[in-house]
C-alpha cells in the first residue's frame, strides 16, 4: 500500500496541473461553441486530429525508450543527450518541410485558402516534440512539481491568448479602439486558436531550456539501441493514434451527406470534450505510472502491486464514468446549445476511454519483457478494427458510428492484451472484484436512466445519492477484503 500511495501521490501532483489546466482549457469549449458555428469548430476538430497523429510520428517512441535505457544504462546522461539531439534534428527538419510545402499540404486537406493553418500547426508539432524528452527527464527525476508548473504555465498562456484574441480584441474594436492589423485581424477567426497554441508551445520550450543545459554528446550505439527498442512503440503509437483520431480526421470524407459533414464533425468534437475527465485521468495516471512501473519491476511483489494498481485505477475510472453521466444535465451547459444533440455519444466515449486506460495498465507485460513488437501488433490490430468499423458505420450512423467503433476497438484491444499478457507475464488481476465494480456502476447508471424525475433539483439530489451509493459500496467491499486478509 505504501508504494501505491507513492504512485497516487505522484499522480496527484501530475494530475493537479493537468486537472486545473485542462479544466481551465475546458472552459474554452463553451467559448468556442458559442463564438464559432458547428462547421467552424469542425475545422479545429479535424486539424487537431492530424496534430495528435503527427506528434506521435515526430517523437517516434523515444520517450518510452528514454525511460527504458535510463534504467538499463544506470542513469547515463548520454541517454538523455542522445535522445534530445535526435528529436531536435528531426523536429527542425519537419518544421522546414512543412513551411516549404504548406500550400500543397493545405490543398490535399482541402484548406486551399488557409495554408497558414498548416504552417502554424507544423510549428506547434515541432516544438511539442522538442519538449517530450525534457519533460520525460523531469518525470524520471521525480521533479513532478516543476513538471506540473511548466505544464500549467503552458495552458494558462494558451487560454490567456485565446481570451485576448477571441474576446478582448473584438470587444475593443466594438468600442471604437483601433488595433493594428499585425496584432489582430478579424478575418483570421478560428486561426487564432492555432496561433495561441503555437505561441504557448514556443514559450514552453523556452522554459525548459535550463533542463536542456547539459553537456551535449551523441552516442550512436545508444541511439541505435533506442531506435530499435522504440520503433515498435512508434508503430504502436501510430496505430493507437489511428484508433484515437481516425474518426475525426476522416468523418467529413466518410459521411454520405457532405453538406452537413463539418457540422457533424464540430458536434462530435465538442462532445468528445465532454468526456475529457476520463481522458484527463488516464493521461495524468500515465505520467506517474510509466516510470513507476519500470522502477518497481525488480521488486519481489511487483506483480501483486500491478494487480492492485489496476483495481484502484478501475475504481476511480468508474467513479469518473458515473460522475460525468449522473451530472450530465449540468455538464451539458459547457457546450453551446447547437452542439448538445451529440450528448448521446458521451457514455460510449467514457467507457471506451476507460477500456483504453485498462489497456495501458495491461501493456506493462510487453514493455517489461522487451516484447514491444506485441504492442505494435495490438495497436495495428486496433487500427484495423477502427478503420473497418468507421468505413462501415459512419456512412450509416454518422458520428454515432465513430463513437461505437472507438468503444469496440478499445474493448477488443484490452481483451487480447490480457490474454497475451497471461502467456508472457502473468499478473493475477482481481477479475471477480473488478467485474463486481463494473456491474455496480452499470446498475447505478441504469437506475438513473429508468427513474424519470421532472424536477431538475430533485433529479440532481437523486443522482448525487446514486453517486455516493457507489462510493459507499466500494468502500464496504474493500473493507471486507481487508478484514479477510487480516484473518488469514
pLDDT in tens, 452-465: 888 888 989 999 99
- Residue 1: the pLDDT is 54
Q: How far apart are CA 354 and CA 319, in angstroms?
A: 11
What integer is the mean pLDDT of 38-42?
Answer: 85
Instruction: Please choose, from the candidates 269, 234, 399, the residue with its C-alpha nearest in 3D space to the C-alpha of residue 339.
Output: 269
Task: Give Cβ neighbours of residue 471 (< 8 Å, ≥ 6 apart).
Answer: 319
What would the pLDDT profile of 44-67 be if each residue is shown by its tens digit?
888 888 888 888 888 888 887 887
Residue 262: inside a domain: yes
On the question of pLDDT at 3 being above 70, the answer is: no
What integer is the mean pLDDT of 122-130?
Answer: 93
Residue 480: inside a domain: no
Residue 253: inside a domain: yes
Spatial contact of 268 and 41, defined as CB atoms under 8 Å apart? no
Total domains in the fold of the chain: 1
**pLDDT > 90: percent of the chain:** 33
What integer is the mean pLDDT of 382-411?
Answer: 91
Residue 88 CA: distances (Å) to CA of 55, 128, 137, 139, 237: 13, 11, 15, 19, 20
The pTM is what? 0.73
Q: How far apart are CA 155 and CA 222, in angstroms?
A: 34
What integer is the mean pLDDT of 171-185?
Answer: 89
Tell me the HSE value of 371 on the side-chain side, using a 13 A CA sphere: 14
- Residue 409: the pLDDT is 92
- Residue 487: the pLDDT is 54
On the question of pLDDT at 71 being above 60, the answer is: yes
Q: Which domain holds residue 75?
A: 2-450
Residue 470: inside a domain: no
Residue 302: inside a domain: yes
Burial 456-465 (b: 16+ CB within 10 A, else e): eeebeebbee
| Band of pLDDT at residue 243, cut at 50, 70 and 90 | confident
Residue 457: inside a domain: no
- CB neighbour class for 415 (10 Å; exposed up to 12, middle 13-18, buried from 19): middle
Residue 320: inside a domain: yes
On the question of pLDDT at 32 being above 70, the answer is: yes
Residue 474: inside a domain: no
What integer is the mean pLDDT of 399-419?
Answer: 92
What integer is the mean pLDDT of 29-42?
Answer: 85
Amino acid at each position: 500500500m505504501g508504494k501505491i500511495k507513492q504512485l497516487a501521490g505522484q499522480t496527484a501532483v501530475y494530475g493537479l496541473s493537468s486537472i486545473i489546466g485542462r479544466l481551465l482549457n475546458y472552459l474554452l469549449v463553451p467559448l468556442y461553441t458559442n463564438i464559432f458555428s458547428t462547421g467552424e469548430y469542425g475545422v479545429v476538430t479535424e486539424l487537431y486530429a492530424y496534430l495528435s497523429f503527427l506528434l506521435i510520428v515526430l517523437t517516434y517512441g523515444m520517450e518510452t525508450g528514454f525511460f527504458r535505457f535510463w534504467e538499463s544504462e544506470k542513469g547515463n546522461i548520454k541517454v538523455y543527450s542522445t535522445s534530445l539531439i535526435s528529436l531536435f534534428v528531426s523536429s527542425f527538419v519537419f518544421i522546414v518541410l512543412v513551411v516549404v510545402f504548406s500550400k500543397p499540404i493545405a490543398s490535399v486537406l482541402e484548406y486551399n485558402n488557409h495554408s497558414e493553418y498548416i504552417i502554424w500547426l507544423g510549428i506547434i508539432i515541432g516544438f511539442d516534440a522538442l519538449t517530450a524528452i525534457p519533460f520525460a527527464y523531469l518525470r524520471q527525476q521525480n521533479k513532478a512539481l516543476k513538471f506540473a508548473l511548466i505544464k500549467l504555465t503552458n495552458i494558462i498562456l494558451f487560454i490567456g491568448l485565446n481570451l485576448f484574441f477571441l474576446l478582448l480584441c473584438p470587444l475593443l474594436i466594438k468600442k471604437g479602439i483601433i488595433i493594428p492589423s499585425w496584432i489582430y485581424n478579424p478575418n483570421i477567426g478560428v486561426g487564432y486558436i492555432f496561433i495561441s497554441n503555437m505561441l504557448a508551445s514556443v514559450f514552453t520550450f523556452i522554459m525548459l531550456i535550463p533542463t536542456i543545459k547539459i553537456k551535449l554528446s551523441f552516442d550512436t550505439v545508444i541511439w541505435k539501441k533506442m531506435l530499435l527498442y522504440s520503433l515498435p512503440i512508434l508503430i504502436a503509437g501510430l496505430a493507437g493514434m489511428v484508433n484515437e483520431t481516425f474518426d475525426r480526421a476522416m468523418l467529413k470524407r466518410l459521411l454520405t451527406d457532405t453538406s452537413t459533414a463539418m457540422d457533424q464533425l464540430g458536434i462530435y468534437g465538442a462532445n468528445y470534450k465532454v468526456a475529457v475527465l476520463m481522458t484527463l485521468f488516464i493521461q495524468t495516471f500515465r505520467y506517474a505510472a510509466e516510470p513507476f512501473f519500470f522502477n518497481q519491476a525488480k521488486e519481489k511483489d511487483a506483480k501483486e502491486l500491478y494487480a492492485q494498481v489496476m483495481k484502484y485505477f478501475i475504481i476511480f475510472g468508474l467513479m469518473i464514468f458515473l460522475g460525468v453521466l449522473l451530472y450530465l444535465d449540468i455538464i451539458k451547459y459547457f457546450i453551446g446549445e447547437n452542439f448538445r444533440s451529440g450528448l448521446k455519444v458521451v457514455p460510449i466515449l467514457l467507457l471506451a476511454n476507460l477500456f483504453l486506460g485498462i489497456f495501458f495498465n495491461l501493456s506493462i507485460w510487453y514493455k517489461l519483457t522487451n516484447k514491444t513488437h506485441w504492442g505494435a501488433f495490438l495497436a495495428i490490430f486496433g487500427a484495423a478494427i477502427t478503420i473497418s468499423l468507421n468505413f462501415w458505420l459512419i456512412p450509416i450512423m454518422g458520428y454515432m458510428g465513430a463513437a461505437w467503433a472507438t468503444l469496440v476497438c478499445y474493448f477488443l484491444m484490452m481483451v487480447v492484451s490480457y490474454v497475451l499478457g497471461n502467456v508472457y507475464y502473468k499478473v493475477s488481476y482481481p477479475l471477480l472484484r473488478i467485474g463486481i465494480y463494473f456491474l455496480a456502476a452499470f446498475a447505478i447508471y441504469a437506475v438513473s436512466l429508468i427513474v424519470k424525475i421532472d424536477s431538475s433539483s430533485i433529479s440532481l439530489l437523486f443522482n448525487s445519492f446514486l453517486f455516493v451509493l457507489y462510493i459507499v459500496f466500494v468502500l464496504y467491499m474493500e473493507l471486507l477484503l481487508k478484514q479477510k486478509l487480516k484473518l488469514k
